[in-house]
Structure 1
Amino acid sequence: MDFIRLTRQFTFETAHALLNYDGPCKNIHGHSYKLQVTIIGQPITDVSDPKYGMVLDFGDLKKVVNTFIVEPLDHALILRLGSSPELITLLQQLNHKVVLTPYQPTCEHMLLDFKNTLTQHLPATIKLHSLRLWETENSFAEWHASDND
């Protein structure tokens, strides 16, 4: 049986700041992120399965990515643990959506976090093939499973 890749694209608005960075990105700023998720698997061969012929229902992929990545990050501010506790407390008191990470919230680290999250929540028959995260219209980072075998 042949393997097929499926790709679904997602968008979300998120702000971040890079702790101790030596450029303007040390300041809080936002991006219109675009995430491409590509999975690989074999189409279901059981004709009695309602998903017969599919590797994975695009709706199921959408649900996983939205639940574990898009919804938690959309319209949030991502800060690294160790950022100003006063700022974090104030923003939380004002009911702002603040996400604290153990890593510097760069495009590269976010991709690795997304990879770890998605591999935990995809069906066992599906493999994560690649991720592409656009931080701006002209700049993106990629993760490919084949680069990490």
Structure 2
Amino acid sequence: MSKIRITKQFSFETGHALYGYDGKCKNVHGHSYNLYVTVIGTPISDTTDVKYGMVIDFGDLKKIVKEEIVDVFDHATVFNKNTPHVDLAKELQARDHNVLLVDYQPTSEMMVIDFSEKIKQRLPNNIKLHSLKLSETASSFAEWFASDND
């Protein structure tokens, strides 16, 4: 049977700051992110399976991405934990703000790499992550493709 790609879109609001950057993005600011998750697999051919004809139930994919990405990053502020922004992060946390300290510069490029690892770990064995597209504005996005990273 044919391999099929399916895509689900997710949206979340996240703040960040790019330490050491030479432009405006060195300041704390936020984006309305759109994440497009594309997986590839063969539709279920067992006519007795309640998910007959599906590569993966969109609801199952939604649960994975919601738990790993959306619920974690939505309305959070992300800082590289190895920068002086840690002092600001601690102050925000003390004021009950949702702050994420990550091991990378929180650019769209690095976030999409992080997201790919988190999602791949949760997918069933017969489903592969094909690609991710993370838009931070209407005209700017980063893409990750499994074929580029084998």
TM-score (norm 2): 0.96
The CA deviation string for residues 32-72 of structure 1, in whole angstroms up to 9 with x for no partner, is: 00000000000111122111111000010011001100110
Partner of 1:64: 64
Greater Cα shift, 38-47 or 82-91: 82-91
Instruction: Give me the whole-angstrom Cα distance separating, in 2, the residues matched to 1:10 and 1:34.
Output: 6
Corresponding position of 1:78: 78
Identity of aligned residues (%): 58
RMSD: 0.9
* Alignment partners' CA distance in 2, 1:96 and 1:22: 26
- The amino acid that maps onto 2:95 is L
Task: Deviation per CA, 1:90-147: give whole Å up to 9, x if none.
Answer: 1111110000100000000000001100100011110000100101111111111122
1:145 is the counterpart of 2:128:
no
Q: Partners in 2 of 1:72 and 1:85 — Cα distance? A: 19
- Please give the alpha-carbon distance, in whole angstroms, between the structure 2 residues aligned to 1:38 and 1:136: 20
Deviation at 1:85, TM superposition (A): 3.3
In 1, are the aligned partners of 2:35 and 2:133 still within 8 Å (CA)? yes
What is the distance in 2 between the residues matched to 1:13 and 1:85? 21
For 1:131 and 1:113, how far apart are their aligned partners in 2?
A: 11
Mark the runs of 5 or more structure 2 residues left unpaired by the alignment: none
In structure 1, list runs of 5 or more residues that go unmatched. none
Match of 1:16 in 2: 16
Where does residue 116 of structure 1 map in the other structure?
117
Separation in 2, partners of 1:89, 1:108:
25
User: 1:92-131, aligned counterparts within 5 Å?
Assistant: 92-131=93-132
- Counterpart CA distance in 2 for 1:53 and 1:86 is 52
The letter of the residue matching 2:130 is H
The amino acid of 2:75's aligned partner reads: H
User: C-alpha distance in 2, partners of 1:28/1:11?
Assistant: 20
Measured in 1, the distance between the counterparts of 2:149 and 2:89 equals 35
Counterpart code for 1:54? M
* Number of the residue aligned with 1:2: 2
User: 2:89, 2:25 → 1: CA distance?
Assistant: 18
TM, length-normalised to structure 1: 0.97
Misfit runs of 4+, over 6 Å: none
The number of aligned residues is: 149
